[in-house]
Structure formats: C-alpha cells, structure tokens
Amino acid sequence: MQLFPCPFCGPRDETEFHYGGEAGNVRPEGANVSADFWANYLWFRANPTGPSREIWMHMTCGEFFVMTRDASTHVVADSSPNSGREP
C-alpha cells in the first residue's frame, strides 16, 4: 500500500485515486487542426522514466489535482490543486 497526498484531504490510500493522464496535454482548439496534431494529443505520451507531472482524481472528494511522481521509484514529490491543463 502507498499513501498519495490529496491536496484537499491529506494522505490517503492509493486505492482511492484514479489516474487522469499526463499534466499539460492541452486539447487543440479550432477547425484547422491537423490530423497529426490530433493524433499527438490523443495517443502519444512522453512516458518518462523519472519524475513526471500527472493528473489524478481523488475519488473520495471528487477533486482533480496534479501530482509530481517518479514513475520508476513511485516517490511522490508533491501534489497541487491546479487542473493540470497548463504546461
């Protein structure tokens, strides 16, 4: 078991959280978006080995937040209550 830090509720069991994707992956807007740009938005991820910023949802309180976590060691550096839309 690992404890994840919800910025609204504090440390909670990892089973209370749902992964939402990489932070900073902003949906393209406008009618002139190329197919390659859409493909990059929908399907391609950086998937870094080290630290990465991820969007998570705490299912108990229903809030989304950004967590900085090392994908290889699972060490959580921090969590913040922003939406993760900014890069």
Return the closest-CA partner of residue 79 out of 62, 51, 61, 55. Answer: 55
Which of 3, 9, 33, 59 is in the footprint of Zn ion by CB under 5 A? 9
Q: How many CA atoms lie within 13 A of 81 on its CB side?
A: 7
Q: Which is nearer to Zn ion, 53 or 58 (CB)?
A: 58
55 binding Zn ion? (CB under 5 A) = no
- Of 17-25, 38-46, 50-58, 76-84, the segment contacting Zn ion by CB under 5 A is 50-58
> Is 57 in contact with 20 (CB distance < 8 Å)?
yes
Q: Site residues (CB under 5 A) for Zn ion?
A: 6, 8-9, 58, 61
